[in-house]
With several copies, the nearest count.
Chain A
Amino acid sequence: MEAFVHFLQDNLLMIYSVTFAVFLGFELISKVPTVIHTPLMSGANAISGVVIIGAILLIRQTPSDDYAMLAFGFLGVILGMTNVVGGFAVTDRMLEMFKKKK
Chain B
Amino acid sequence: MNSIWFDIIYFAGVLLFIVGLQRLGHPASARRGNLMAAAGMGISILASIFYPMEGSHGNYLWIFAGMGIGAVIGWLAAKRVQMTAMPQLVSLFNGLGGACAVVISLVQLIGAEQGATPMSQAELGTILLTLLVGSVAFTGSLIAWAKLDGRLKDNALVPPFPTIFNMALLLISLGLVIFMAVQGEVSMMWMGILLAISLVYGVTFVSPIGGADMPVVISLLNSFTGLTAALAGLIYSNQVMLMGGILVGSSGTILTVLMCQAMNRSLWNVIVGSFGASGGSGGGAASDGEQVAKELSKTDAAILLAYSSSVVIVPGYGLAVAQAQRACRDLDNELTARGVDVSYAIHPVAGRMPGHMNVLLAEVDVPYEKLMDLEQANNALPNTDVVIVVGANDVVNPSARTDTSSPIYGMPILNVDEAGKVLVMKRSMRPGYAGVQNPLFFHKKTHMLFGDAKKTLQELLEATKVGV
User: Is residue B106 contacting chain A, with contact meaning CB distance below 8 A?
Assistant: yes
* Interface residues on chain A, size class: 35 or more
A96–B27 Cα gap in the complex (Å)? 10
B79 in contact with A89 (CB, 8 Å): yes
- Which residue on A lies nearest to B78, using beta carbons? A89
Known contacts A51-B225, A72-B103, A77-B67; decide if A18 and B242 are in contact (CB<8 Å): yes
- Which B residues touch A81, using CB under 8 A? 66-67, 69-71, 74
Q: Which of B29-37, B202-210, B318-326, B458-466 faces chain A?
A: B29-37
- Which B residues touch A92, using CB under 8 A? 31, 34-35
A83 in contact with B96 (CB, 8 Å): yes
Q: Give the total of B residues in contact with A, Cβ under 8 Å.
A: 121
B34 in contact with A29 (CB, 8 Å): no
A40 in contact with B255 (CB, 8 Å): yes
Known contacts A34-B262, A50-B41, A74-B65; decide if A39 and B24 are in contact (CB<8 Å): yes
Known contacts A25-B250, A82-B93, A95-B31; decide if A50 and B245 are in contact (CB<8 Å): yes
Q: Tell me the smallest distance from the CB of B337 to a CB of chain A, in Å.
A: 22
Known contacts A88-B37, A96-B31; decide if A48 and B245 are in contact (CB<8 Å): yes
B362 in contact with A25 (CB, 8 Å): no
A53 in contact with B94 (CB, 8 Å): no
Known contacts A5-B4, A24-B247, A59-B63; decide if A16 and B100 are in contact (CB<8 Å): no
- Which residue on A lies nearest to B14, using beta carbons? A16
Q: Tell me the smallest distance from the CB of B188 to a CB of chain A, in Å.
A: 14
Q: Which of B15-23, B273-281, B433-441 faces chain A?
A: B15-23
Known contacts A17-B243, A54-B100; decide if A25 and B38 are in contact (CB<8 Å): no
A23–B21 Cα gap in the complex (Å)? 12
B59 in contact with A60 (CB, 8 Å): yes
User: Is residue B244 contacting chain A, with contact meaning CB distance below 8 A?
Assistant: yes
A29 in contact with B25 (CB, 8 Å): yes
Known contacts A81-B66, A87-B90; decide if A95 and B44 are in contact (CB<8 Å): no
A12–B4 Cα gap in the complex (Å)? 9
- Which A residues touch B316, using CB under 8 A? none
User: Chain A 46-58, CB within 8 Å of chain B: the 1/0 string?
Assistant: 1111111111111
Please report which residues of chain A, range 63-79, place their CB below 8 angstroms from some CB of chain B when the two chains form the complex: 63-64, 69-70, 72-79
Q: Is the interface of B mostly helix, strand, loop or mixed?
A: helix
B17 in contact with A47 (CB, 8 Å): yes
B2 in contact with A5 (CB, 8 Å): yes
B243 in contact with A21 (CB, 8 Å): yes
Q: Tell me the smallest distance from the CB of A6 to a CB of chain B, in Å.
A: 9
A48–B238 Cα gap in the complex (Å)? 14
- Which A residues touch B236, using CB under 8 A? 53-54, 57
Please report which residues of chain B, range 39-84, place their CB below 8 angstroms from some CB of chain A when the two chains form the complex: 41, 44-45, 48-49, 51, 53, 55-59, 62-63, 65-67, 69-71, 73-75, 77-79, 81, 83
- Say which residue of A26, A29, A44, A76 sits within 8 Å of B104 (CB atoms): A76
A15–B246 Cα gap in the complex (Å)? 12
User: Is residue B195 contacting chain A, with contact meaning CB distance below 8 A?
Assistant: no
A79 in contact with B37 (CB, 8 Å): no
User: Is residue B425 contacting chain A, with contact meaning CB distance below 8 A?
Assistant: no
- Which B residues touch A43, using CB under 8 A? 20-21, 24, 30, 33-34, 37
Q: Tell me the smallest distance from the CB of A32 to a CB of chain B, in Å.
A: 4
Q: Tell me the smallest distance from the CB of A45 to a CB of chain B, in Å.
A: 5
A16 in contact with B239 (CB, 8 Å): yes
Q: Which of B163-171, B214-222, B292-300, B328-336 faces chain A?
A: B214-222
B258 in contact with A50 (CB, 8 Å): no
A28 in contact with B67 (CB, 8 Å): no
Known contacts A81-B71, A86-B78; decide if A12 and B7 are in contact (CB<8 Å): yes
A31–B25 Cα gap in the complex (Å)? 8
- Which residue on A lies nearest to B22, using beta carbons? A28
- Which residue on A lies nearest to B366, using beta carbons? A101
- Say which residue of B107, B240, B249 sits within 8 Å of A69 (CB atoms): B107
- Say which residue of A8, A45, A62 sits within 8 Å of B8 (CB atoms): A8
- Which A residues touch B309, using CB under 8 A? none
- Which B residues touch A37, using CB under 8 A? 215, 219, 255, 258-259, 262, 353-355
A61–B162 Cα gap in the complex (Å)? 42
Q: Tell me the smallest distance from the CB of A60 to a CB of chain B, in Å.
A: 5
A37–B271 Cα gap in the complex (Å)? 19
A92–B79 Cα gap in the complex (Å)? 10
Q: Tell me the smallest distance from the CB of B463 to a CB of chain A, in Å.
A: 31
Q: Tell me the smallest distance from the CB of B148 to a CB of chain A, in Å.
A: 12
- Using a CB–CB cutoff of 8 Å, the interface residues on chain A facing chain B are 3, 5, 7-9, 12, 15-19, 21-64, 69-70, 72-102
Given contacts A48-B225, A49-B97, 19 further A-B contacts (CB under 8 A): A23-B250, A36-B27, A37-B258, A39-B30, A40-B255, A47-B17, A48-B244, A50-B245, A51-B104, A54-B229, A56-B45, A69-B107, A79-B97, A87-B90, A88-B38, A91-B34, A95-B30, A98-B30, A100-B365
Supply 23 A–B pairs (Cβ within 8 Å), ascending by A: A12-B7, A18-B230, A25-B253, A28-B247, A30-B258, A32-B255, A37-B215, A41-B252, A45-B225, A46-B34, A47-B37, A47-B41, A49-B97, A56-B48, A64-B59, A69-B110, A79-B70, A79-B96, A88-B35, A89-B79, A90-B78, A91-B34, A93-B86
